[in-house]
Structure 1
Amino acid sequence: MKKYLDILSDMELKIDEGQFISGQKLPSIRNAAKQYGCSANTITRAYTELENRHVIYSIAQSGYYVVEKPGHRSTVVESKMIDFASSSPDPTVFPYLDFRHCLNKALDTYKFDLFTCGDPNGLEPLRHTLASHLAGDQVFARADRIIITSGVNRALELLAKMPFPNGKSVILVEQPSYDLYLRFLEAEGVSVCGIARTAAGIDLRELEEKFKHGGIKFFYTMPRHHSPLGTTYSADERKIIARLASKYDVYIVEDDYMADLSEERGVDPIYAYNGTSHVVYLKSFSKLIFPGLRLGAAVLPEKLLETFREYKRYADTSLLSQAALELYIKNGMYERHKHKIRSQYGERIRALNEAVRRHNDEGLLEIPGVNYGVYVPFKLPRKVNLERLVIRLAEKKIMVVSGKPSYLSDYREREKFLRISISRARIEQIEEGVETINEEIKREVKYL
């Protein structure tokens, strides 16, 4: 199975990246089998799957050809912009055809059930499917402890507003962290404080002090593929955080929004180490499929379930989308798409790391060892004017994001960095983009 998925992902990647253009004939089954070192049956299966997805078409006695996509590939290729800013999925890899099939199938399968108000907890078949799906990430939970929300942001808002059984009120956030959530907490006047997280990790002694004396209601964290740092806590760090949560009666809100993009083994979530008593586990399906789906899942401890339901009150997510996602996961399409996205993003991350290695000759850039996910922060010399650098790069058609919004407004111990995202950066642009960024940093340093 893995060999077949590897081949399928590689073929799709080559087509998406333009190595095989519209109308071009693909290698014969025999030649492709030699190239990939596999059987002809494996290649036939891959070509058949690509044909089912309308990516290629066959002509009897001639072979397989790439389907032309009017207005799609040409627009992407002609763009001069190098996008290191966008964090949403690459639209060229959205699973339109597969998901359309699931939408149609959902209408046939669930019929009139889709036109009711629905269960506030979420579609029951989807929650049962997610119970099995999440077990693959060492998140073992009954379906009745899984609640579907209109994206992870909705769950985060509810958790911030509702009371917790520990009677505490302060939300602790990593610094830097998810910028939209930080702005929400500040706008709502929620009691919030920060703790520094760097590429090296977090100060666990400081964390324990805050848990012990800070009146912390919950600690919001992204242990794996952090936004914007891209880094992952070590297993020891995750185990200690889980232990401290139970010891000091502090809840952990674990935002595992990019868990599917990692190929690392044994990188279990904090949830797996806590015995489920003090961890809220959040999973998003927007980063991997498409943002417009607006579906997330919250796995809640027993003590939080009723209060969370009271604050949620009503079904806030399309039943049709939920039914389609249930079929998409159950039919193995989600797993296949995950493999494809992971392969593509992994190649881009490797290209970015290699480009930094080649062009960072003066050592002005510092980057962590990120090999999976979407984000790689470019840490800059302190004297660089970050705002001016972002503007100058935009003038050269390179879009980047300052790391400044990823901090609370009153947090002072900030690192200076660019948040680089590879999700929409075409692989052939990455080298040029990194080289230009490095040249502009040199210019900024010399200017000062």
Structure 2
Amino acid sequence: MLKYESIYQSLFQQIQTGVLPSGAKLPSIRNLSQQYSCSKSTILAALERLEEQHIIYVLPKSGYYVVENQVFKTPSFTDSIDFATSSPTWHAFPYKDFQHCINKAIDTYQEDLFRYGTPKGLPLLITEAKKLLESYQVFTHFEQIFITSGVQQALSLLSIMPFPNNRSTILVEQPSYHLYMDLLKTYGLPAVGIQRTAKGIDLNKLEQIFQEKDIKFFYTMPRFHNPLGSSYSKKEKAAILQLADKYNVFIIEDDYLADFEYNPKNDPLFAKDLHEKVIYLKSFSKIMFPGLRVGLAVLPHTIINTFQKFKMTADIDSSMISQAALYLYLKNGMFERNKMRVSNIYHARAKILHQSIQDHLSMYESSSEMVMHGHIVLPKQVNMKSFIHHLHEKDVYLDSVERNYLDDFYHERILKLNVSHVADHRIEEGIKGIASELKNPQNYF
């Protein structure tokens, strides 16, 4: 081991064990060179390595200080099989690449960090986002694209702001995105539901609701629905667009898994919208990570000004650091390269999940889509609480669908299955465990 490496290890250990706690000043370079009996250049080499890892920082004419004594530790793998967690696994994302983009963004856009941005978002990012959207068959104009603090913020603003059709009731699929259901309940917004299953929705019922109710917009996930995992057919999407135009209803299309589409002919609703009724939302939470807090909203011209006013009152602009880093990540090609890698990981798991359900749970209604999450519909006699509890005791984790429904809508007995946090070789084992537990008489009323 080289001398500077042994000094680095010694200082690193002192910081990690708390001998040198956060905020502590390190001995001077002269004192360190005397302590370790080496040249000042050797000490500087060790300090530079600690600084590169963001463990220490330097103040000119003052010295070196400890930033934080805690360092990243690879999470230990457990024996549990987690079908409940939907957030992406930490190791699937090449965080080192994005870290370079964050550091470069701080260096390049220093001045921008000390002033407010614009309600629309960083112009450079919008330009790159426009190119990205085109790869999803979303062709739009620069002025129609807004950067939001995650899709959740866009949904919140759209839900509370007035719309050109002067209506107030929101129509949502049931079940649907649980955090959006929470939002509707928290704000007490008028909302009605329409049942969605693995087979789609009843288009006659949809027309009836559009005709009889005061529908402001219809919130939908046309492909890879959360939590069902199913997608609308081309015919269904065309019918939904036709009805929206006929009854002057806007559509919010949440395309949160656009990056995982394996069928190039499966276009979003927006691609076929000829009457500017579709509001397109794109998230980066699955292909990258939820903490990025950057989302894309593509708006019809008729609501741009209102949306911009409401967004200004919410946060003026979304995180400039995140926006600048994402811009660099998109521009230099890292996003496209890593998208394929991450997609391949989840596609492999999706295939195993799909086959495992067919092999062991084929007697239950389920989605036929190959995506990282799916569902089965359980018999009415199954006690869901007892069922989930018994599997939890066997280290197989499942989640209830209660939050995916409006309070006054009938709750189907749906079992969500998400493999975002399940290793490939454990998926079938977990599905077998579920199938076995369904034979347990203790889980029935």
Q: TM-score, normalised by structure 1?
A: 0.80
Whether the 8 Å CA contact 1:288–1:338 is kept in 2: the answer is: yes
Q: CA deviation at 1:132?
A: 1.1
Deviation per CA, 1:237-286: give whole Å up to 9, x if none: 11111121111110001110111111112111111111261111000111
Whether the 8 Å CA contact 1:172–1:216 is kept in 2: the answer is: yes
**Percent same amino acid among aligned pairs?**
45
| Counterparts of residues 139-158 of structure 1 (less than 5 Å) | 139-158=138-157
| Counterparts of residues 163-312 of structure 1 (less than 5 Å) | 163-275=162-274, 277-312=276-311
2:389 corresponds, among 358, 375, 391, to 391
Q: Secondary structure at the match of 2:440?
A: helix
1:433 corresponds, among 430, 433, 438, to 430
Q: 1:168 to 1:230 in 2, by over 3 A?
A: same
Partner of 1:319: 320
Counterpart-to-counterpart distance in 2, 1:241 and 1:164: 19
Partner of 1:375: 373
1:403 corresponds, among 392, 401, 404, to 401
Q: CA deviation at 1:111?
A: 3.0
Alignment: residue pair count: 373
Q: 1:444 to 1:304 in 2, by over 3 A?
A: farther
Deviation per CA, 1:363-422: give whole Å up to 9, x if none: 5433210212x211121111101111111111111111122321111102x321111111
The amino acid across from 2:328 in the alignment is L
Partner of 1:421: 418
Partner of 1:72: 74
Whether the 8 Å CA contact 1:404–1:416 is kept in 2: the answer is: no
Counterpart-to-counterpart distance in 2, 1:441 and 1:219: 36
Partner of 2:359: 358
Counterpart-to-counterpart distance in 1, 2:267 and 2:179: 26
Deviation per CA, 1:105-144: give whole Å up to 9, x if none: 2233323123211111100010111111101111111111
Q: Secondary structure at the match of 1:418?
A: strand
Partner of 1:345: 346
1:330 aligns with 2:327: no
Q: CA deviation at 1:98?
A: 0.7
Counterpart-to-counterpart distance in 1, 2:274 and 2:324: 30
The amino acid across from 2:393 in the alignment is E
Counterpart-to-counterpart distance in 2, 1:446 and 1:285: 38
Counterpart-to-counterpart distance in 2, 1:446 and 1:217: 42
Q: CA deviation at 1:154?
A: 0.5
Partner of 1:136: 135
Q: Secondary structure at the match of 1:244?
A: helix
Q: CA deviation at 1:86?
A: 0.6
Q: CA deviation at 1:445?
A: 7.5
Q: Secondary structure at the match of 2:163?
A: coil
Q: Secondary structure at the match of 1:402?
A: coil
Partner of 1:13: none
Counterpart-to-counterpart distance in 1, 2:274 and 2:113: 35
The amino acid across from 2:159 in the alignment is A
Deviation per CA, 1:139-177: give whole Å up to 9, x if none: 111111111111000010111100101011100000010
The amino acid across from 1:376 in the alignment is G
Whether the 8 Å CA contact 1:126–1:322 is kept in 2: the answer is: yes
Q: CA deviation at 1:446?
A: 7.9
Q: TM-score, normalised by structure 2?
A: 0.81
Whether the 8 Å CA contact 1:231–1:370 is kept in 2: the answer is: yes
Backbone CA RMSD of aligned residues: 1.7
Counterpart-to-counterpart distance in 2, 1:331 and 1:107: 16
Deviation per CA, 1:273-314: give whole Å up to 9, x if none: 112611110001111101110110111000100111111114
Q: Secondary structure at the match of 1:168?
A: coil
Q: 1:213 to 1:95 in 2, by over 3 A?
A: same
Whether the 8 Å CA contact 1:123–1:322 is kept in 2: the answer is: yes
Counterpart-to-counterpart distance in 1, 2:376 and 2:441: 15
Q: CA deviation at 1:316?
A: 3.9
The amino acid across from 2:351 in the alignment is R
Whether the 8 Å CA contact 2:116–2:316 is kept in 1: the answer is: yes
Counterpart-to-counterpart distance in 1, 2:114 and 2:266: 40
Counterpart-to-counterpart distance in 2, 1:307 and 1:444: 56
Unaligned residue ranges in structure 2 (runs of 5+): 1-70
Counterpart-to-counterpart distance in 1, 2:175 and 2:223: 14
Whether the 8 Å CA contact 2:384–2:443 is kept in 1: the answer is: no
Unaligned residue ranges in structure 1 (runs of 5+): 1-68
Q: 1:447 to 1:144 in 2, by over 3 A?
A: closer
Counterpart-to-counterpart distance in 2, 1:145 and 1:368: 34
Counterpart-to-counterpart distance in 2, 1:332 and 1:379: 41
Which shows bigger deviation, 397-406 or 154-163?
397-406
Q: Secondary structure at the match of 1:229?
A: coil
Counterpart-to-counterpart distance in 2, 1:365 and 1:198: 13
Q: 1:254 to 1:269 in 2, by over 3 A?
A: same
Whether the 8 Å CA contact 1:384–1:445 is kept in 2: the answer is: no
Whether the 8 Å CA contact 2:383–2:444 is kept in 1: the answer is: no
Whether the 8 Å CA contact 2:145–2:299 is kept in 1: the answer is: yes
Counterpart-to-counterpart distance in 1, 2:402 and 2:184: 16
Whether the 8 Å CA contact 2:93–2:342 is kept in 1: the answer is: no
Counterpart-to-counterpart distance in 1, 2:298 and 2:203: 25
Q: CA deviation at 1:71?
A: 4.4
Whether the 8 Å CA contact 1:385–1:444 is kept in 2: the answer is: no
Q: Secondary structure at the match of 2:438?
A: helix
